Structure 1
Amino acid sequence: MSDSLFKRKGALKVAMVVGEASGDVLGAHLMDALQARHGDIEFAGIGGPRMEARGFHSVVPQEKLAVRGYAEVLRCLPELLRIRRDLRERLKAAKPDVFIGVDAPDFNLALEAALKKSGIATVHYVSPSVWAWRLERIYKIGRAVNRVLCLFPMEPALYDKAGVKADFVGHPLASEIPMVPDQLAMREQLGLPRQAPVFTLMPGSRKSELEFMAPLYIEAARILLRDYPDATFLVPLATRATMDLFDRLLTRHKAWDLPLRKLFGHAQMAMIASDVVLVTSGTATLEVALTKRPMVISYKLSWLTYQLVKRKIKLPYVGLPNILCGRFVVPELLQKEATAEKLAAEVKRLYVDQDARVEMVQAFTDLHQSLLADTASLAASAVLQEAGCRTA
C-alpha cells in the first residue's frame, strides 16, 4: 500500500469503507451526488468496482470484507483485524474531512468510534437492523458516529429516542427502479422467449453464501425443469470471483447440462425478465420486491452461526420485504426447510397461482411508494454538513 491515502492538496477528503456488493451500489450513488455538489473531492478507503470506476482509491479489495456468519468470520478474523488496524492508522494520519461507513457495521463501527475519538467526523450510511434484533446497539452506534443515514422510514424515530442524530434518506433503489417494470421489453433485450418460463436464481453476492446456497438452487432448477422443459434459468453474479466459484459448483454437481444463463452483474435485468425469483435472504430481496417479481426467499447458515443468531432475532421473518411489510408476504424457507424439493415447489406454486402473484405485487407496490426519496442527494447533503462544507 502507498504511504498516502489522499494525493491532491485542497480537495475535500472523503474516506469510505464498503463491505459488500450492495454497499458498492450505495457508495457509487453517493459519490455521484457528492461530486455534483462539490466538484473537488478525493475518495479513498475500501470500495467496490462501481466506486473504483468513479475514481475511488481502494487500499484492499472490497471482497476481503464480504464474509458472513460468526463461524465464517472467525476463520478470517486475523486478516480482518489487520486490515482495520492498518486502515485506522492511515486514516488518522490522513485526517479526512469526513468518514462514511457504508453498512458493514461489524467492521465499520469500531473503526468509526476510533476516528470520531480522534476528531474526524463520522457518518454511518445504512442503519444496522436494530428494529429486528439487538436494539441496544443504538447506543453503541451513537457513541461511534456523528450521524446515521437511514434507508427505511421507521428507523429515525428509534435513534431520536436514544439521542442519536439520524435522517431518513429513502432507498436509492426505489428511485432507480420503475414502478411498473416492463417484463416483455426486458426479455426482448436479453433475447429471451416471450412466453416460456424464466426463473432467476440468486444464490448470493458472497462466496460463502454461494457455497451454501448454489447447490440447493442448482438442484431446484433440475426439479423445475422436469415440469417446465422449456424453462430458462438466469443466474446473475456480482463479481468474477463468485462467477468462477459458481462454475466450479456446476462442475462439482455435474450441472452443465442445465439451461442456466449466467450474467455478469445485470441482476435487475434478470429479475425484471423473470416469472419467479429464487433469492438468498439479504439486500437482493428488496431489489426483487421493487421490480415487482414474485419470489421465494431462502437462507442457510452453518449450524454454529444459526444457533448464535436465532436467539437474538426479534421478528418472525428474516426477509426484508416481509420485515418492511410487517407480515409474511413472501415465503421463507430457512435452514432445514431449505431443501431443493421445497424450493422448487414454492417456485412452481407462485408460477401457477395468479391470485398469489397479484397479491404479492400489490404489497411490493405499496412498499415501493413508502421508500421513495431523493436518496443520494439527501445523503450527500448530510455528509457535507458533517464535513463542515458550506455547499451543503
Structure 2
Amino acid sequence: MGQRMTQTPETPSDLARAPRIFLVAAEPSGDALAGDLMDALRALRPDVEIAGVGGPEMARRGALSPFDISELSVFGLFDGLKIINLVHQRAQETADAAKAFKADAVILIDSWGFMLRAAWKLREVLPDTPLIKYVAPQVFAARRERAKVAADTFDHLLAIHPFDAPYFTEHGMDVTFVGNPALERDLSGDGPAFRARHGVAETDPLLLILFGSRKSELTRLFPRFADAVKRLKADRPGLKFVTPLASSIAAQAQEMIAAETAFADLIVVESDERRDAFHAADAALACSGTVTLELARLGVPTVAAYRLGWLAWAAARFFLMKSKYISLANIAADEMLIPEHVQTRCRGDVLAQSVGELLDDAGRRADVSKRLREVTEHMRGAGGSPSANAAQAILGLVTS
C-alpha cells in the first residue's frame, strides 16, 4: 500500500464517445455541489452525458432524480437506523439507475452513510465502473476508521480540504485535492435592496435564523431558537429576524413557524433571496454546517448550534470526536471565531446571550468579520475553481 496524493490530471480532449457520468447526492448541500460539478463538467466536455440521483439543483440542470432525496436527509447513527430499510431500498434503486444509464463513472457526493450503502450496491451491478467519492468523511474530527473503509470501498477520493489526504493515502487510496466548492460559490447579493423589499430600515439590527437543511436539525433546533428569539426580543424590541428556508424543510418549517408566537414577525423567504438576506444581516444564529462557512466568507458574525439524539451524542462525545471545534472556519483558524453551542449548551438562554454579545458590540462584530474573511481567504488558496478541478479529475479518470 503506497501513499498516493495526485494532482488534478489533464483531461484528454478526444474520446470515441461522450463520457457518461452518474452523480449521486442525498441532501441539499450535496445537491448544490452536484449542480456546480455539472456546470464544470459541461464546460470542459460539452458532449458529456449526465444523469443521477439528487435534488432541485441537479433537476434544474436536466438530471431528474428517480426518487425524492429529502427523506434521506438525516444525521447521526440512530436517526439513520430509523430509516435503514428505506436507505437500502434507495441504494438499490440508485445502483439500478446507474446500471441502466450505462455509467462510465459514478460520483458519490458527501453523505457518508447513504453513499457507503449505495457503493456496495453499485459494486454488485457495475463491478468494473469507477466509484469516485467526492468529499471525504471528516475523519480529522471523528471516526478515523472510516478512512480505511473508504479506501476499501471507493476507487478514488476528491478531497476538499488540504489536510484530508494523509488519512486516506496511508491506506493506499488515491486522493486528488480539488479545493472546497463552498469557497468558490457565488455569494453576491444586495443587502440594501433586501431590507427595502421587506421593510427593514437601514439602522434596524437584523439577525439571520438558519435552521439547517435536515428535518432532524429543524425539529431539534427549532424550540431552542424560538426561546432564544423570545429572550432577544425582550431586551431589544427593535431587532428584526429573517430566515431563508431550505427547500428540504420549507413546508414543515412554515407550519412550525406559524404556530410559534416568538416568530410572529419573522421574515420568511425562499432560497432565491438567501444571498440577499446574508448580505443584509448584522449577525446570524445558524445550524452548524456548510452555511457557517458561507457566512464566514461574507464576514457575517455567527453563533453556531447543533443537537444530536442523546445516544448519538454520547457516542460522539466520549468515543468519536477528535477535534476541538466543529466549524471549519474555527478548525482552520484554530480559534473560536464562531461561538459553538452543542447539545447541553444548545439552550435558548445560552444562545441568546451569545448572539446578544455580538449584536451589542459593533467593534467586536467588525473584528470577527475581518478575521472570518481572512481565514476563509487563506482556506481558498490557489489553483483554480474547485468544481473545475473536480470535473477535470473525473474526466481524466474516465478517459485515461
| Normalised TM-score (structure 2) | 0.88
| Residue 304 of structure 2: aligned partner | 297
Out of 31-40 and 154-163, give the one that drifted further. Answer: 154-163
| Residue 13 of structure 2: aligned partner | none
Q: What is the correspondence of 1:67-78 to structure 2 with a 5 Å cutoff?
A: 67-78=74-85
Secondary structure, counterpart of 1:68 in structure 2: coil
| Residue 196 of structure 1: aligned partner | 204
**Which residue of 257, 262, 267 corresponds with 2:269?**
262
Do residues 388 (structure 1) and 399 (structure 2) align?
yes
Taking the aligned partners of 1:208 and 1:27, their CA distance within structure 2 comes to: 23
Out of 193-202 and 106-115, give the one that drifted further. Answer: 106-115
1:172·1:376 contact (CA, 8 Å) conserved in 2? yes
How far off its partner does 1:191 sit? 5.4
Secondary structure, counterpart of 2:184 in structure 1: helix
The share of aligned pairs that are identical, in percent, is 29
Secondary structure, counterpart of 2:320 in structure 1: coil
Q: What is the correspondence of 1:155-304 to structure 2 with a 5 Å cutoff?
A: 155-177=164-186, 183-184=191-192, 187-188=195-196, 192-239=200-247, 242-255=249-262, 257-304=264-311
| Residue 326 of structure 1: aligned partner | 334
| Residue 6 of structure 1: aligned partner | none
Taking the aligned partners of 1:244 and 1:64, their CA distance within structure 2 comes to: 13
Taking the aligned partners of 2:63 and 2:185, their CA distance within structure 1 comes to: 22
| Residue 131 of structure 1: aligned partner | 140
How far off its partner does 1:289 sit? 0.9
Taking the aligned partners of 1:183 and 1:213, their CA distance within structure 2 comes to: 26
How far off its partner does 1:242 sit? 1.6
Out of 347-356 and 275-284, give the one that drifted further. Answer: 347-356
Aligned partner of 1:383: which letter? I
**Which residue of 113, 128, 153 corresponds with 1:119?**
128
How far off its partner does 1:56 sit? 0.5
**Which residue of 373, 381, 388 corresponds with 1:377?**
388
| Residue 350 of structure 1: aligned partner | 358
Taking the aligned partners of 1:161 and 1:362, their CA distance within structure 2 comes to: 37
Q: 1:163 to 1:244 in 2, by over 3 A?
A: same
Taking the aligned partners of 2:272 and 2:332, their CA distance within structure 1 comes to: 26
| Residue 92 of structure 2: aligned partner | 85
Size of the aligned set, in residue pairs, is 379
How far off its partner does 1:68 sit? 1.4
2:332·2:379 contact (CA, 8 Å) conserved in 1? no
Taking the aligned partners of 2:101 and 2:58, their CA distance within structure 1 comes to: 20
1:215·1:249 contact (CA, 8 Å) conserved in 2? no
Q: 1:251 to 1:365 in 2, by over 3 A?
A: closer
Aligned partner of 2:399: which letter? G
How far off its partner does 1:365 sit? 1.8
| Normalised TM-score (structure 1) | 0.89
Runs of at least 5 residues in structure 2 that lack an aligned partner in the other structure:
1-15
| Residue 5 of structure 1: aligned partner | none
Cα RMSD, aligned residues only: 2.3
Aligned partner of 1:279: which letter? A
Out of 145-154 and 168-177, give the one that drifted further. Answer: 168-177
| Residue 308 of structure 1: aligned partner | 315
Out of 94-103 and 361-370, give the one that drifted further. Answer: 361-370
1:21·1:48 contact (CA, 8 Å) conserved in 2? yes
Q: 1:150 to 1:370 in 2, by over 3 A?
A: farther
Q: 1:368 to 1:316 in 2, by over 3 A?
A: closer
Taking the aligned partners of 2:373 and 2:292, their CA distance within structure 1 comes to: 14
Secondary structure, counterpart of 1:387 in structure 2: helix
How far off its partner does 1:87 sit? 2.2
Aligned partner of 1:377: which letter? A
**Which residue of 25, 31, 45 corresponds with 2:32?**
25
How far off its partner does 1:183 sit? 4.8
Runs of at least 5 residues in structure 1 that lack an aligned partner in the other structure:
1-8
Q: 1:158 to 1:83 in 2, by over 3 A?
A: same
Taking the aligned partners of 1:263 and 1:57, their CA distance within structure 2 comes to: 22
The higher relative CO (CA closer than 8 Å, separation ≥ 6) is in 2
Q: 1:122 to 1:89 in 2, by over 3 A?
A: same
Q: 1:279 to 1:244 in 2, by over 3 A?
A: same
| Residue 161 of structure 2: aligned partner | 152
Secondary structure, counterpart of 1:379 in structure 2: helix
Secondary structure, counterpart of 2:183 in structure 1: helix
1:181·1:292 contact (CA, 8 Å) conserved in 2? no
How far off its partner does 1:133 sit? 0.9
Secondary structure, counterpart of 1:43 in structure 2: strand
Q: 1:86 to 1:334 in 2, by over 3 A?
A: same
Taking the aligned partners of 1:227 and 1:115, their CA distance within structure 2 comes to: 56
